[in-house]
Chain A
Amino acid sequence: MLEIRNLHAVVEGKEILKGVNLTIGDGEVHVLMGPNGSGKSTLSHVLVGNPRYEVTEGSITFNGKDILALSPEDRSHEGIFMSFQAPIEIPGVSMTNFMRAAINAKRKYLGLEPLKGSEFLNLLREKRQIVGLDAHFMSRGVNEGFSGGERKRNEIFQMAMLEPTFSILDETDSGLDVDALRIVAEGFNRLRNEKTSAMVITHYQRMLDYLKPDFVHVLMDGQIVREGDAQLGYDIENRGFDWIRETV
């Protein structure tokens, strides 16, 4: 599904990614771990096409397409979704209007007619229930007045609405209490199937417990330096990153 080859990227003149290689297959969940500042979020932002980040070398292909040539919106239409580490507040744009614009933009890209009002509202209701997001959030501005937990639930709700094939969860678990984490992780698990894949950035064992990832990768100083199964994640939880750094 996703092939990242020798990816180098700079932000504000500083090279953050220094040759990342990563392959993610259909139906796989990969966890990306690494110390702060190692480039995890940069990789996420490069994948979704944040214009602040410049790719200087390497390639990313997604289902055979060179996505570096695509705009952020077209990458979204192709099936890439990111749950943001710090979901932004957009006062004045209601959640309902925001989601309607997003859904209909995707349908237009796929050559489909816009959803009828009633169909859209039914979809909204159905997907809200996956993460237990109350109806009144839909009339508020995007993330406006949402608590930290509600924002993260809102991210998974949007993921449910857009039905991506590849999702990036950038520290979606950070700042959540145990109940909120369970709701978010269970919501994510309900959306998984053999065709969908994910790259999950996390620092916590509890997320590994819920997601049961197929692979764990360790990113340090802009490169993936260690790969393994879920056990690698638990080892890092117990021992930190130093023992890996010493072997690199």
Chain B
Amino acid sequence: MKNSLTQYTELFAQYRQVLEQNAAPVLNNLRDAALNVLNSAGLPTAKSERYRYCDVQKLLEPDYGLNIRRVTSGRNLYRDFRCAIPKLEADLFHTENDVPVLPPDYDVRKALASDVCVVTLRQASDLLPEIVQQHLHSLASQHNDGLMALNTLLSQDGWLVYAKGGSAQKHTVQVVNTATGRTPMMMNRRLLVIAEPGASLDLILCDRTDGDAGFLSTQVTEVVIGEGADVKVSVLDETNQHTTRFSNLLVRQDVNSRFTLNELTLGSGQSRSTTDVLLAGGGAYVELNGTVIADGSQLADHNIEVVHAVGGCQSDMLYKYVLGDSSVGAFAGKVLVRQDAQQTISQQTNANLCTSDTARAFSQPMLEIYADDVKCNHGSTVGKLDEAALLYMRQRGIEENEARLLLQHAFVNEVLERIDLQPLRDRLSHLVEQKFRGRLGKRCKGCDFCG
């Protein structure tokens, strides 16, 4: 019987030629090294410190199909997709499963000349070879991680979002990843974000599913931020409950740069998000925010590591979970302050609200400090809804369910309020409310797109 890993490595060995013929050439150069990592380290197990709450091997056991010939449904996502964020002005791009689909009539030459250039990795291999070769896998290669290696072994294409410096105007790019199809599929997505010195970028990544099939996605996103650049990434997961989602986000920040992450996990049956940030230039600032609303038997596992490699940087982490039914939330956040990283300021908070007796929260904030002139603190709480607040609201006539909803929403509002893009904040707040009301995934009026 094939195990979780060999079913993919054997498939790779058998179909390597077809896979590579249909892939961005720049990705093909990475596969041998990925195979070596998988052969030596294998997939993570529960014994790996960073994977204590997520059984990767078990989640990879099902026999998912791979779309190595890059067949697409032919559906016009740009026409059919109507759930865009109201009032948001953004350049919209769609990924069907793991195939990046450019907008109809997309002018690549014009894109290359604009302040923020979005092209597929396949196009980037031809059009921006030096840039993509310099940066693609530059962060992932620093980690001996089996999951990322599996993605690197099998991924065939992805997006390059390239923000150039020198433009004062902020650009917003939205990438909607839709998993679609009637049979269980594995998709391996890749995203490279480069912000040149002084560039400014808002990137919104939405993961969704079309239909009820079970999907597995691995996604590796590398974000390279130059001096003084400002990058905000917002990630929305509203995939169906049969989805297993592995996400690796790797960030490297140069001098005086800013990076903000806002993650909202509403969907996925099983989700694992790993975020690694390297503060490599003095004066860099990173803010990592996360909200999880889980119910049923969902698992939402966030594992974060911020490395203060140099002095004078700041990091701020705020993750809040609302866990209902038999859901499980796991948070492990580590801040590593290296010996030379004097005058580091770091704040880390994880708060969990369990709304049922069977929900479980695991919280593991960690500080590892080798410098002596630092200001670091962390905190973690796990609790239930405040019965006194509930009574207060009910005494004013607010129905119990509505009062619970308001209190739960209030609990996560602190995180949502950190999103400074108003239309996005409003949209995410709306989705949070829909999730609390059990209406997430219900079709919007006039739209037959999502399930």
Chain A interface residues (CB < 8 Å from chain B)? 48-52, 71-73, 75-77, 81-82, 84, 87-88, 90-93, 97-98, 101-102, 105-106, 109, 141-142, 158, 162
B residues less than 8 Å from A141 (CB atoms): 410
Most buried by A among B392, B406, B414: B392
16 A-B pairs with CB atoms under 8 Å apart are A50-B391, A51-B387, A72-B391, A73-B395, A75-B395, A76-B395, A81-B395, A90-B407, A92-B410, A92-B413, A92-B414, A93-B407, A97-B406, A106-B397, A142-B392, A162-B396
**Taking the nearest CB of chain B, how far is it from the CB of A95, in angstroms?**
11
- Select which of B386, B389, B397, B409 is within 8 A of A105 by beta carbon: B397
Cβ contact within 8 Å between B397 and A90: no
B residues less than 8 Å from A91 (CB atoms): 410, 414
Query: Which residues between 369 and 426 of chain B lie within 8 Å of chain A, taking CB atoms?
Result: 386-389, 391-400, 402, 406-407, 409-411, 413-414
Of all A-B residue pairs in the complex, the 7 with the closest CB atoms, nearest first, are: A92-B410, A76-B397, A72-B394, A102-B396, A92-B413, A105-B397, A93-B410
* Bound CA span A52–B387, Å: 9
B residues less than 8 Å from A88 (CB atoms): 386, 388-389, 392
**Taking the nearest CB of chain A, how far is it from the CB of B386, in angstroms?**
7
Given contacts A73-B395, A81-B395, A101-B402, 5 further A-B pairs with CB under 8 A are: A73-B400, A90-B389, A101-B406, A102-B396, A102-B398
* Bound CA span A38–B64, Å: 68
DSSP majority for the B interface? helix
A residues less than 8 Å from B394 (CB atoms): 49, 71-73, 76
How many residues of chain B are within 8 Å of chain A by beta carbon?
22
**Taking the nearest CB of chain B, how far is it from the CB of A32, in angstroms?**
18
* Bound CA span A134–B187, Å: 55
* Bound CA span A180–B395, Å: 24
* Bound CA span A52–B223, Å: 52
**Taking the nearest CB of chain B, how far is it from the CB of A106, in angstroms?**
5
- Select which of A49, A77, A84, A101 is within 8 A of B392 by beta carbon: A84
B residues less than 8 Å from A93 (CB atoms): 406-407, 409-410
B residues less than 8 Å from A48 (CB atoms): 391, 395
Query: Which residues between 79 and 136 of chain B lie within 8 Å of chain A, taking CB atoms?
Result: none
Chain B interface residues (CB < 8 Å from chain A)? 386-389, 391-400, 402, 406-407, 409-411, 413-414
B residues less than 8 Å from A52 (CB atoms): 387
Take A93-B407, A141-B410 as given contacts and tell me if A98 and B393 are in contact as well, using a CB distance cutoff of 8 Å: yes
* Bound CA span A90–B386, Å: 9
* Bound CA span A82–B396, Å: 8
Cβ contact within 8 Å between B400 and A90: no
**Taking the nearest CB of chain B, how far is it from the CB of A171, in angstroms?**
16
A residues less than 8 Å from B386 (CB atoms): 88, 90
Cβ contact within 8 Å between B392 and A90: yes
* Bound CA span A102–B428, Å: 24
* Bound CA span A8–B66, Å: 69
Cβ contact within 8 Å between B392 and A105: no
* Bound CA span A131–B389, Å: 23
**Taking the nearest CB of chain B, how far is it from the CB of A82, in angstroms?**
6
**Taking the nearest CB of chain A, how far is it from the CB of B397, in angstroms?**
4
Most buried by B among A48, A52, A73, A76: A73
Name the CB-closest residue of B to A159. B396
Cβ contact within 8 Å between A87 and B392: yes
* Bound CA span A172–B47, Å: 57
* Bound CA span A50–B388, Å: 9
B residues less than 8 Å from A82 (CB atoms): 395
A residues less than 8 Å from B411 (CB atoms): 92
Cβ contact within 8 Å between A77 and B397: yes
A residues less than 8 Å from B392 (CB atoms): 84, 87-88, 90, 142
Cβ contact within 8 Å between A105 and B388: no
